[in-house]
Amino acid sequence: MTAVTGSQLVGDPVDRVDGPLKVRGAAPYPSDVRYPGMAYAALVQSTIAAGTISSIDTAEAEAAPGVLAVLTHENIPDLAEAPLTALGSPPRFPLQDDRIVHHGQHVALVVAGTSGQAAAAARLVRIGYQETPAILDIADPDAPVVTNPWGLESERGDVAAGLASADLVCDETFTIAAETNNPLGLFATVARWDGDRLVVHDSTQWPMMERRTLADVFGVPEDDVRVLVPYLGGAFGAGLRTWPHTILTALAARIVNRPVKLVLTRPQMFTSVGHRPETVQRVRLGATREGRLVALDHEGTSTIGTEEANLEPITMGTPSLYACPNVATHDRQVRLNIPNPGPMRAPGTAQGNFAIESALDELSYAVGVDPIELRLRNHAEVQPGSGLPWSSNALRECYLVGADRFGWAERSAEPRSMRDGTELVGYGMAGAAYHWYQTPCRVRISIGRDGTAHVRSAATDLGTGTYTVTTQLAAELLGLDVGRVRVEIGDSDLPPAPQSGGSGLMISLGNAVHDAAATMLQAFLDAVAGDEASPLRGRRPNEVAVHEGRIHLVADPSAGETYAEILARHGLDEITVDGEVQPQPPAGMAPAGAFAAHFVEVRVDEDLGLLRIARVVSAVDGGRILNEKTARSQITGATVMGIGMAMLEETVFDPSGRIANATFGDYLIPVNADVPTLDAVFVGEPDKSTPIGIKGLGEVGIVGVPAAIANAVHHATGRRIRSLPITMDRLL
């Protein structure tokens, strides 16, 4: 079994295997965890954005009913620094000193017998501040600037010469407001200590990282920390760091010697678990009169906390997007007194794509070429820079299939030329790409005498379908019905797995399952290697196949036996094997991530400036599709987030540094009335970089959607909007 071929289950739109548990309300989320004698914690947050704490009076809070402890920087023990992760430096831990660096910073934690008692006592903590002027504006000349923060700036060819020689140059600036991750499930942490062993239930996308972080901070071996998250109520990147409230909860549990639960409030979600940073981008495109790119210069500026780090390169994907001989990219970060940004679906790439694909649309009008044709003329047939062939690339097919499905041919090229009654009608499109990503991963599979398989790994399922597609893949490779495969994930005591983020988990996990399944087959063949009673005696893997829990000869399907028969005859309760993947770029080719083309129809009421999305069609090259239903859900869910980014979402900081709209009553997110018919179609072939041929789908569904909407707005109104969100006032 070197590849998945002739699949019967892989690709089928199987219903989510965890669906029944969820609809019964029986799926255990972190906020559902209960322990006998559990205490509850509530945060106290700063009311200034910059300065120091001059005084703390906790006496009234400590005397309040049920209060067990009030933790501040004045009484907590010293903790070790959290380690670096693959995403960079850990968040700043606020209770180590008296400094305030943003509004809403945690300044105290109250622990009490009930959640109500903790919340009431938290309001009794009196804090005095010595306030200093805060820096809150990305354009503030006093704001510290970090240039090339990740060492990822690049240059190919001679951009200055290319721009000088171009027949046409587009030079524009694009801005995007800060957005906040707003998963349905409030982030929660439950921590308990059993001697020196720490067990934490947490809203994390990366149990292994959190285990290491907590072990380092509290000075215990990693094996003495267990992180559990079998189910997570969404995250969109917010769960990729170990945030201070998690460490505080574990510390509180140690101090009061009881399990402690902390559930963030919705306003606290805005200040505690990151957000998509505000960005300003300058794009300079140089092209011939035929629209062929000769130069591309892309500058990206994003916001960051005053003493924090956030890996979010805006321009990283730009050099590989199009066949342009002269390309330069520049990234910088501006330090502000704001809660630290963090990953939010397609971090960096979603913003960078908006600027590039909007600029390309402008160029298409300048040269009088259809936007699709312009992209086809500049399509990267091989990876720019290296010249290597792609491991797969069906972006051309995405353009053509998507255009046909959308009815792009019906578009009138002239802006403001399409109308339906009082509404202006616009068609817009954008291309999209998201990078290839794979990390080491391990899986353990057991098959028992009952003929069922148990698959275990420390991966997580954010609700994207990891349980389901892992079940399908294991069932296919082991020759079992999906009902005879049980997947266990979300536990750091299981074999190590990477984060669920970056569109890379299923590539890593799936290929580890593939490796384990091949090892399992060999283990059963080894078990019968000297068994004269077995028709499989002495056979090699390429001579057998698996079907319905039975290993049989390829040449004679009637000759074989079941897993259960082999185990029983040899007195074995089960056979357990491990599988792993150590990512290696494919030889002689450039590993390709997912590609897509998004097509949008908008309606704009000319008198009211009211923008409405009428329909969206997304054509996606996702390699081999393991489950069409969950894959389509990934794309359509991300598209909804793209609609929010384009039209609605904006995290507003008032002059004091307070987030002014930190509730669902004030922060606008798409609801059913904002979401039209969403259509997703998959094109392309299995990717050649891995045995199972899949690509990540978590992020390519949002990349390109905001640009396609903005481009459609221009086609409808003749007005070029270069700033998101596109609100009514910008269309009046």
Q: What is the DSSP string of 446-480?
A: EEETTS-EEEE-S---SSSSHHHHHHHHHHHHHT-
* Chain-centre distance for alpha carbon 678: 21
The tokens describing 213, both together, are: 């972080």
Cross-strand partners of 445: 455, 577
- Contact between residue 488 and residue 237 where contact means Cβ atoms under 8 Å apart: no
HEC assignment per residue over 188-207: EEEEEEECCEEEEEECCCCH
Number of helices followed by number of strands (H, E) in the chain: 15, 29
| Residue 645 amino acid letter | M
Residue located via tokens 């380092």 = 216
Question: Active-site positions?
Answer: 699
Separation of alpha carbons 452 and 475, rounded Å: 10
Stretch (H or E) spanning 145: strand 145-147
Q: 305 in helix, strand or coil?
A: strand
Q: Is 230 left (phi over 0), alpha (psi -120 to 50) or beta?
A: alpha
* Alpha-carbon distances, residue 161 vs 66, 178, 284, 288, 300 (angstroms): 72, 35, 13, 14, 21
The tokens describing 700, both together, are: 């390519």
Q: Please state at what angle helix 207-218 crosses helix 244-256, rounded to 10 degrees.
A: 50
Q: What is the dihedral of CA 393, 706, 278, 238, to 10 degrees?
A: -70
Separation of alpha carbons 113 and 256, rounded Å: 11
Sequence-ordered list of residues with C-beta below 8 angstroms from that of 126, at least 6 positions apart, any chain = 55, 56, 57, 58, 60
Q: What is the dihedral of CA 485, 486, 488, 494, to 10 degrees?
A: -60
Separation of alpha carbons 732 and 729, rounded Å: 5
Q: 637 in helix, strand or coil?
A: helix
Residue located via tokens 């804090």 = 127
Pairing state of beta strands 51-57 and 126-131?
Answer: antiparallel
* Alpha-carbon distances, residue 39 vs 76, 192, 258, 415 (angstroms): 18, 10, 7, 62
Q: Is 544 exposed, middle or buried (0-12, 13-18, 19+ CB in 10 A)?
A: buried
- Contact between residue 83 and residue 216 where contact means Cβ atoms under 8 Å apart: yes
- Contact between residue 173 and residue 722 where contact means Cβ atoms under 8 Å apart: yes
Pairing state of beta strands 197-202 and 188-194?
Answer: antiparallel
Separation of alpha carbons 332 and 170, rounded Å: 22
Separation of alpha carbons 341 and 313, rounded Å: 13
- Contact between residue 579 and residue 517 where contact means Cβ atoms under 8 Å apart: yes
- Sheet of 106-112: strand order equals 67-71, 106-112, 39-45, 260-263, 188-194, 197-202, 225-228
Residue from 502, 723, 714, 704 nearest 617 by CA? 704
* Alpha-carbon distances, residue 36 vs 68, 197, 614 (angstroms): 16, 18, 52
Backbone angles phi, psi at 684, to 5 degrees: 95, -175
- Contact between residue 178 and residue 276 where contact means Cβ atoms under 8 Å apart: yes
